[in-house]
Structure 1
């Protein structure tokens, strides 16, 4: 009798990239977005999402997680809670503030529409992340 694949085995077949740790907000958010695409496609539950993501943490991010793990209950940690802890480390409030300032001061100036739109779209993408932070709203 053939054993059915586990969620983890199906997840690994999607070839997600390992995360080694960076505070580049575009890399951090790109990592989370790509994982969420896989999770939605696989209809993966929170606990599997968290476990699979933890497996992808390598190098400095793996060391960081070992410290975090001492203060959280991994059995009850939701995906949203994991993202909050992850963003607190890798998409810090000072980075969010900087992105907000950059976006709010963005002007087309001498750029063509073709040059300006990608800069606007990139900044606009981060507005919900910034706006969802109570401190940033103030």
Structure 2
């Protein structure tokens, strides 16, 4: 579990992923705020290091908290407008033609940006169900799921017969004329 350097990026998910990976290490090591900040600053490279040099002039490192550091970091790499756009995308997320696995991945990633849903188990399950393709949602609801993990498992199970039917229909089609 080695922390990675952060050179800066235009991809907000890379920036968010870097912070999350650091926080996993910090939790494991039970680090104090000051140590978290020193570690993060040490890992900044290239453009990110330059950004911090500019930001550092306006902060007192002796009183800076980890939350303050993240706020400064996010102002540059994971801006409020990007977070707002991601929240809107999550709220309108629908499975459509996506496989269940892809939908779950996008849902779990987006859920992170809407704590009112992410932190309410019933709301998280309902919002996920609402985004499923109708045929899959019907099958999941017939199974009377109990929680989000149950819904996801049943969505995977409901998808397979639909794939099998589509494959069988494709196989039975006559070949196109030559």
Counterpart of 1:8? none
1:84 maps onto 2:78 in alignment:
no
Alignment equivalent of 1:125, drawn from 112, 122, 127: 112
The Cα RMSD (Å) is 1.6
1:74 maps onto 2:61 in alignment:
yes
Matches within 5 A, 1:1-138: 14-128=1-115
CA drift of 1:98 comes to 1.6
CA drift of 1:55 comes to 0.5
Cα distance change on mapping 1:114 and 1:15 into 2, 3 Å? closer
Task: Encode CA deviations 1:82-110: one digit per residue, 9 max, x unaligned.
Answer: 11111111101121122112111211123
Task: Encode CA deviations 1:12-42: one digit per residue, 9 max, x unaligned.
Answer: xx52100011132211111111111111111
Output the TM-score relative to the length of structure 1. Answer: 0.78
Output the TM-score relative to the length of structure 2. Answer: 0.61
Counterpart of 1:134? none
- Distance (whole Å) between structure 1 residues aligned to residue 101 and residue 35 of structure 2: 41
CA drift of 1:43 comes to 1.0
Name the larger-Rg structure: 2
- Distance (whole Å) between structure 1 residues aligned to residue 35 and residue 97 of structure 2: 48
- Distance (whole Å) between structure 1 residues aligned to residue 113 and residue 7 of structure 2: 22
Point out where structure 2 has 5 or more consecutive residues left out of the alignment. 119-178
